[in-house]
Amino acid sequence: MNVQRRDFLLPLISAATAVAVSGQTVAQTAPLADAGTAIPDFSGIWGHLAWPDVEPPATGPGPVTNKSRRNGGSNPNALVGDYTNPILQPHAAHAVKMQGENEQSSGPAPTPSNQCWPGGVPFVLYNIGMQMIQQPDRITILYSNDHEVRHVRLNESHPAAVTPSWYGDSVGHYEGETLVIDTVGVKIGPFAMVDMYGTPHTQALHVVERYRLLDADAAKEAEDRGERNNFRLAYSDPGFSPDPSYKGKGLALQFTVEDDGVFTTPWTAGITYRRPLGDWPEMVCAENPHKYRDGKAAALPTAGNPDF
């Protein structure tokens, strides 16, 4: 599979919260669910077929979005982040600016997804497909891109000293009908970024996700609002497409990101998921035999020593 425009979409595009932490903060634990409240059912496959931007908040600081426009919306073929967003500290704004210039001058700029590297949190949320598996003591979240998997321990605390990992240490609990996931300790890899625009992060990165179900009308309204300045997919490379006959509930995600080494303030964004058509895909990031660009091979993960 050619990695030259692989960022969660591939050939389709061409065709058609809490306190800052440093690994020592311990999250509050909470009961499995508020007394008398049934645990909501988030299980199954969900899709959000708008890309590459996530939904900005109604008010307050929001995410870096795409400066490149096409037909009035975000241009999925040119990921040029708005480095003037006031959430960015100067060095972070410079990184976003350089990523955008690289994208414009030399073709797709490297990201975790087009380089076959784990994306981390919240970068992994930019996947267009997600499947949630709920168990009494844990949540497992599968993402459509390259078999990315997250494990969330329920009703536990972060360890006093978190060992950094690709998707960080995630603990969760239910607050009534809302699932809250708190993540710290996201590893800083070669292409570490929190979004599609090269916005960096440090070890202080802290992400809080809040998931809740929406009635069909509210989900449709939220989805339409989120797609207003975005790129709407008729179908996705992994096989997902909108289900026009689906009248059931949607899933709303609101996530808050803070990192006092990168951002001037915490910021919030959202994603609206609905049930897609199509089965769970087999989507594997593979080495690009045609090279990445500028005559260079894709920087694929390699092991210096065998694991056996």
pLDDT tens digit sequence for 165-218: 999 999 999 999 999 999 999 999 889 999 999 999 999 999 999 999 999 889
Per-residue pLDDT, 14: 37
Side chain identity, residue 26: V
What is the reported pLDDT for 22? Answer: 34
Give backbone dihedrals phi and psi of 27, rounded to 5 degrees, phi first: -75, 150
What confidence score (pLDDT) does residue 28 get? 38
pTM for this prediction? 0.83
189 vs 292 pLDDT, higher one: 189
Cα–Cα distance, 109 to 234 (Å, whole number) = 25
232 band by pLDDT with thresholds 50, 70 and 90: confident
pLDDT digits (tens, 9 = 90+) for 40-54: 999 999 998 888 999
Question: Quick one: which of 180, 204, 9, 199 has its CA closest to 98?
Answer: 199
Q: How many other CB atoms are found less than 10 A from the CB of residue 18?
A: 16
Closest CA to 126 of 7, 231, 229: 7
Helix, strand, coil shares of the chain as percentages rounded to 5?
Answer: 15, 30, 60
Write out the H or E segment, with its range, that includes residue 90: helix 90-106
pLDDT of 285: 80
- Which of the given ranges, 27-41, 65-79, 151-165, has the highest pLDDT on average? 151-165
